[in-house]
Every structure is written in C-alpha cells, then in structure tokens.
Structure 1
Amino acid sequence: MILNSDSSKPIYVQISEWLENEIISGNFNTDDKMYSQYQLAELFNINPATAAKGLNILAEEQILYKKRGLGMFVSEGARARILDKRKNETLKELVETLVIEAKRLSVSEADLIKMIQETSRRRSDDK
C-alpha cells in the first residue's frame, strides 16, 4: 500500500484503514501480534507518532488490544467489528451520496436499483 499524502484523509487514518484491510483479508487473526509503530514508520517512511496514532484508533475501537511491554494484538471479533463498522458507516455514506447524485440526474429509484444489480452481476461474472 502507498499512503496518499494528497488525500483529505490524514495519514494516521489511512494507516488504521490499511491495518483493518490486513485483518479483513486474513493476514492477521485473533491474538496475532500487530505491526509496531516503529515497523509501520519504517514501512511507510512516516513519523512513529503518526503510526502510533493509527494503531491507537484501532485500540479505541477494540479492534486491537495492548499487552504491556509486548505490543498490540488483534482482538477477538476484530474482523466482524470492522465489517460491521464499514457496513454501517462507509456503505451508508456511499449509498447516501449515490442517491443524492441519482436525484440530481433525475435517475429513478427503479433505474438506480437496476444499475446496481447489473453492476453486481458483472462483478460476480468477473470472479
């Protein structure tokens, strides 16, 4: 992953989202030791404090937990928490934006649903 310094998202948020993706994809499982702030800093050529901030976001959300002197580890149920968060926040946001744009373009609800279904079918066929 390459961090986007031009993004409106702060680097530490991009770090936390990248770590979430690592958990979702199965690269880290329950009780696995997560990268340290120094490993992340070296990996992405960023300040360790920025990396720590990304890790702390996940600790606050109970996706990671700290073991004193040992580092951060993946919490039980972390993957499910991330998926739930993304469904309830990210997808709702995207749907809201999509519906607003469809109304601006005078696209009916039925046509919008049809477009979503066609895209879903196409994506299924690609796999």
Structure 2
Amino acid sequence: MKFDFNSTKPLFQQVNDEIEAAILSGAFPEESQVPSTTEISKSFQINPATVLKGMNLLVDHDLLEKKRGIGMFVKTGAQAKVKTIRKDKFLHESVVTVVKQAQALGITEAELKELIERGYQQ
C-alpha cells in the first residue's frame, strides 16, 4: 500500500482505494483476511480512526465483512463488484469527457471508434 500524505485526497479515501485495488488485483483474495486497522495504522503511521473510516467504506460497499473478534475479510464476489464500480467510474469520469471533447472537435462516432482502435494497437 502507498499513501500520499501531501495529496488533497483524504487519507481515509486513500485507504479505501488501496484496499479496493488490492481486491481487484487479487492481492487480497475473496474470503481472505485483510490487515487489521492496527497493522495498517502502525505500518504507515496513520491514525487508526482514519484507517477504520476507510475500511468502513468498503464494508458499506459490501466488499469487506467484519467478523467479530476475528477481523475484516474480503467478501465473496468483491472482485467483480470492484470491477463494476471501476467501470462505472471510468464511464462517468473518462468516457463521457472524451465523447464531449470529440463532439466539440466535430469527431463522429465512427471516427472516435477508429481512434480508439488505433490507441489499442499502439
């Protein structure tokens, strides 16, 4: 995990994003235990409440589950959910912007598809 203490993105969101990325990559497989709040806070010198807030976002998104007295575990189906979340984010943050820019430049849908195909080839 990497955290940018100079970023404008809050640390709890960075915790959420890093664990989410680890779930997506398979570094934290489904049904496996993730590092505890204490482990993460000590390793990266982050306030435990901040780490917990980031982890609770993952619980709220149904990616992690708390097992009382044991710890936090990656839920079954979490990797697929992360992919869906990331695809939706990509659509809204990137694709929509590209399409608007293409329209402003007078690029047709067919031309844009051709440009994307060329991008894949590079």
TM-score (norm 1): 0.83
* Residue 70 to residue 100, structure 1, CA distance change in 2 (3 Å): same
Deviation at 1:92, TM superposition (A): 3.0
**Could you tell me which amino acid in structure 1 is paired with residue 19 of structure 2?**
L
* Residue 121 to residue 40, structure 1, CA distance change in 2 (3 Å): same
* Residue 81 to residue 116, structure 1, CA distance change in 2 (3 Å): same
CA distances 1:92-111 after superposition (whole Å, capped 9, x unpaired): 32111212222334433333
**Could you tell me which amino acid in structure 2 is paired with residue 116 of structure 1?**
I
TM-score (norm 2): 0.86
CA distance in 1, matches of 2:36, 2:119: 39
**Could you tell me which amino acid in structure 1 is paired with residue 4 of structure 2?**
N
| 3-state DSSP of counterpart to 1:9 | coil
Q: Show structure 1 runs of 5+ residues with no match.
A: 123-127
Task: Please name the residue that 2:51 is paired with.
Answer: 51
Aligned CA-pair RMSD: 1.8
CA distances 1:15-37 after superposition (whole Å, capped 9, x unpaired): 11111111111111122111111
Task: Please name the residue that 1:3 is paired with.
Answer: 3
Report how many aligned residue pairs link the two structures: 122
Task: Please name the residue that 1:125 is paired with.
Answer: none
Q: Percent identity?
A: 38
**Could you tell me which amino acid in structure 2 is paired with residue 113 of structure 1?**
K
**Stretch moving more, 109-118 or 98-107:** 98-107
